[in-house]
Structure 1
Amino acid sequence: MTTLLTPVFFHIVWCALLYALLTVARAPAVWGVGQSKNGSNPFHTIQLKISANLSNQFEWPIFFHIACVLLIATDEAIDGMQIYLAWVFVIGRVLHSIVQIFTDNIRLRGMVFTVNFIAVLAMWTLIFIGEIGL
C-alpha cells in the first residue's frame, strides 16, 4: 500500500506547490506586492496559465485518485505495474504543468496529457481485468 500511496502524496504536494505559485503570481494584483511601476501585475499572463493548470489537476486526475483508493482499499498486494503507471501519471502531471505554464506549445502539451490519460486508463483496465478474473 505505501508504495502506491507515495505517488498519490506527490501529486497532492504538486497541487500544493501550484497553489503557492499561484499565490505568488497573484500577489501584485491582490496585495500590491511586486507590482510594475505602472501598477500592473507583471505575472498576469503566467498567473492565468497557473490557474488553468491548477483547474486541470481536478479533472482527469480524479480518476487516478479513485483508482488508487480502490487499489489500497482492497487490502491486497498491489501489482508492480499499477505502481509504475501511478508514477508515470504523476511525472506526466508535473511535465504537463511545466509545458502548460511555461510554453505555448499546445501540441507538446497534448502529447504529455495523452501519456497521463493512457496511464490512468491502463490502471482502470487492470482493475477491471482483476475484478472480472481474466
Structure 2
Amino acid sequence: MDSHYIFFPMLAQIALTLGMYVLLALRKAQALRAKTLKIKEAALDNKAWPDAVVKVSNNIANQFETPVLFYALCLILFTINGVTLLSIALAWIFIALRYMHARIHIGTNHVPKRMRVFVMSCGVLMAMTALAAWQLASLIST
C-alpha cells in the first residue's frame, strides 16, 4: 500500500474548509446586497449577520477542531509507515462524515442529527488513534 494515499482524504478536508470560506463570502455578499445589515455592528459581532452567514461562519470554526486531530493522525500514520487499507478507509469515512456534518450545519442545522454525525466522526478518530497507537507499538517492539 502506497502511504501517500493518506494525503487524499487530507486534501478533501482542506477542500471542504476552503469551500466553506467561498460560501461564506457568497453569503456575506448576498447579505450586503440586501441592505438590511448594520455594517458597523456586523464588523464587531458575528451575530449581527443573518443566520445563513452565522451558520457558515460557525462551521468554519468547526473545521479547525476535530479535523486538526485528523491531520495529526494522518501525518503520524504516514511518518511511522503505518498507512494501511484500514487507515485509508477510516480517513475517508471521517471525511464523508465531515461533509455530512457541514451540510447539516449550513442547512437545516438540526442539532440532534448534527450531533449524531459528529459523534460518529469522533468514533472514527478514536479508531484511527487506536490504529496509530497499535502501529507505533508494533514498530517499537520490533
TM-score class, shorter-chain normalisation, is 0.7 to 0.9
Q: TM-score, normalised by structure 1?
A: 0.87
The equivalent of 1:13 in structure 2 is 15
1:50 aligns with 2:56: yes
- Looking at both structures, which has the greater relative contact order when contacts are Cα pairs under 8 Å and sequence separation is at least 6? 2
In the alignment, structure 2 segments of 5+ residues that lack a partner are: 38-48
CA distance in 2, matches of 1:58, 1:87: 18
Aligned-residue Cα RMSD (Å) equals 1.7
Per-residue Cα deviation, 1:74-131 (whole angstroms, up to 9, x for no partner): 2x25111100110011111000001111013111000111111111111011111222
The equivalent of 2:36 in structure 1 is 40
Per-residue Cα deviation, 1:36-86 (whole angstroms, up to 9, x for no partner): 2xx215x82111000000100001111100000111122x25111100110
| Identity rate, percent | 26
Q: TM-score, normalised by structure 2?
A: 0.82
The equivalent of 1:130 in structure 2 is 135
Q: Specify which of 2, 5, 27 is matched with residue 3 of structure 1.
A: 5
Aligned residues: 126
Contact 1:92 1:115 in 2 (8 A): yes
1:95 aligns with 2:100: yes
